[in-house]
Structure 1
Amino acid sequence: MLIEAFTAVCLGYGSYRDVKTREIPDTLWLIMGGVGVVLRLFDHQWKVMGVSVGVALLLGAVLLVSGLFGGADIKAFIALSLLVPQYPGAAVVLPVFVVSVFNNLAVIRVIEILVVFFYNIVKGNWYKGDIPQWKKILLYMTGFPMKKEKVDYRFLPLQDLQGDIHLVPDIDTDIEQFKKECTLKEIWVTYGSPLIAYITVGCFIAFIKGDILLQLMMHFAGS
């Protein structure tokens, strides 16, 4: 239970900083990873940790290149893979704990997408521009219109300064500068989800219930 408690404290603090400021000190990830390495001096699970870190690096590289994760999110996954390379008390390596956390995060994101989609339907938020229908559907699943003056650091524009739609937002956008240069009164934005908070929830679920996505897949495969 000590590992679970320490992980909860670290990720809980990271979540708080992510929600409040979107800035998380690298010291937090260094502490998590460092404690993980120290623990391996006692349990000698170096190979298990190696597999966990390797998977986290591969997963992180794909997500970073795709633009789905930022630097802090990748650091969190790597730190978690060092601290908790496998389920606490488990006798098997697979499933790798960090993968279960990611799968739970994916389930949370799907729920978020459904909420946004139905929100747009209920509110009648329809994009009037000339783009393919499939692109409109994806837009309704990921974004919503907002008055420009209400946009702050919590949101990322899905439109450029010319008003063209981009389904993958630039996570490095300077929101205040964008608002100054943008001439649109209303823009489509996506909620800059505090992924560290989502990772934290996914980790808690993994500790308590395991890999939700894997369980759902096994349930439907067996039905």
Structure 2
Amino acid sequence: MIPSLISLLMLLAAAAQDIKSREISDFTWAIGCLLGLIVNLDNYGWSYLPKALFFLAFLSAIWITKLMGEADILAYASLLVTQPSTAGYIPPAMATFIYSNLLLMAAPIYNFIKNLKNMKMLDEFDEPYFRKILALFLAKPAYKKDLERIKYYDIAEVIVNGRKKLDISRSLSGIKKGETPDREPVWIIPTYPLMPFILAGHIITILLGDPIALIFGMKISY
């Protein structure tokens, strides 16, 4: 109960910071991990260590390839400290990773629905219809005042042989602060505050337990 409470409070503080400024203080993780170490001294069993190291190696690969922001990786890594458990096939931190990313899959759908009113703005791009549809899922038009709030994004508009194109592949280029465009509105590929999804994913972890066990028709709570 106490490890879950520490984890939830840590993620709640991080989510509030992420929504407000898209920046998260390292003290959030430091305090959470310190409290986690204090209350979990007897819970770091040898059977937990291989699972934790496997997930830590997985997070390291994500960090090296820059597929996720540093704060997001620190959130999952901190959960390895604040909520260790030998129950289940995977540690609670990895379960949270799975649930939060499943929730994150709803973001492009939400973006598509919001973009339906912007379809005519794509007429100026020399792109086949299917790429314009894809852009509705991954990109959106934004003004400079919006970019100050979004902070992390990439500009999707490019000029190729004098023609205006959309480079949707930039959605795979990693997390970075976007450049300031010289025009507006401009189509961008935004990144979303991931902390609220991680918080929601951890709540689901507490409620449903190990997602791998659920696949086999079992419920293993942490």
Aligned equivalent of 2:16: 16
Q: Distance in 2 between matches of 1:214 and 1:140?
A: 35
Deviations 1:154-189 (A, max 9, x none): 25443268556222355332x5xx32xx22322122
- How far residue 149 of structure 1 moved from its aligned partner, in angstroms, is 4.1
CA pair 71-33 structure 1, distance change in 2 beyond 3 A: same
CA pair 21-59 structure 1, distance change in 2 beyond 3 A: same
Q: Indicate which of 102, 116, 135 corresponds to 1:139.
A: 135
Aligned equivalent of 1:84: 83
Kindly indicate whether the alpha-carbon contact (under 8 Å) linking 2:36 and 2:81 is maintained by their aligned counterparts in 1.
yes
Aligned equivalent of 1:148: 144
- How far residue 54 of structure 1 moved from its aligned partner, in angstroms, is 1.4
Which segment drifts farther, 164-173 or 52-61?
Answer: 164-173
When normalised by structure 1's length, the TM-score is 0.77
How many residues end up aligned between the 2 structures? 208
Q: Distance in 1 between matches of 2:172 and 2:15?
A: 23
Q: Indicate which of 103, 114, 127 corresponds to 1:119.
A: 114
Q: Distance in 2 between matches of 1:70 and 1:93?
A: 27
Deviations 1:121-143 (A, max 9, x none): 35425534335666544432222
Q: Distance in 2 between matches of 1:210 and 1:43?
A: 18
Q: Distance in 1 between matches of 2:28 and 2:105?
A: 28
Q: Secondary structure at the match of 2:68?
A: coil
Aligned equivalent of 1:5: 5
Aligned equivalent of 2:203: 204
Aligned equivalent of 1:167: 171
Deviations 1:56-112 (A, max 9, x none): 3223123224433111111111110122122xxxx6341321121111111111111
Q: Secondary structure at the match of 2:172?
A: coil
- How far residue 21 of structure 1 moved from its aligned partner, in angstroms, is 1.7
Which segment drifts farther, 118-127 or 102-111?
Answer: 118-127
Kindly indicate whether the alpha-carbon contact (under 8 Å) linking 1:24 and 1:72 is maintained by their aligned counterparts in 2.
yes
Deviations 1:30-75 (A, max 9, x none): 2322333334432352440x23431332231232244331111111
Aligned equivalent of 2:187: 188
Letter in 1 for 2:188: V
Aligned equivalent of 2:220: none
Q: Distance in 2 between matches of 1:185 and 1:122?
A: 17
Kindly indicate whether the alpha-carbon contact (under 8 Å) linking 1:156 and 1:189 is maintained by their aligned counterparts in 2.
no
Q: Secondary structure at the match of 1:189?
A: strand
When normalised by structure 2's length, the TM-score is 0.77
CA pair 214-109 structure 1, distance change in 2 beyond 3 A: farther
Kindly indicate whether the alpha-carbon contact (under 8 Å) linking 1:103 and 1:211 is maintained by their aligned counterparts in 2.
no
Q: CA RMSD in A?
A: 2.9
Q: Distance in 2 between matches of 1:213 and 1:141?
A: 29
Is residue 2:93 matched to residue 1:102? no
- How far residue 144 of structure 1 moved from its aligned partner, in angstroms, is 1.0
Q: Secondary structure at the match of 2:135?
A: helix
Q: Which runs of 5+ in 1 are unaligned?
A: none
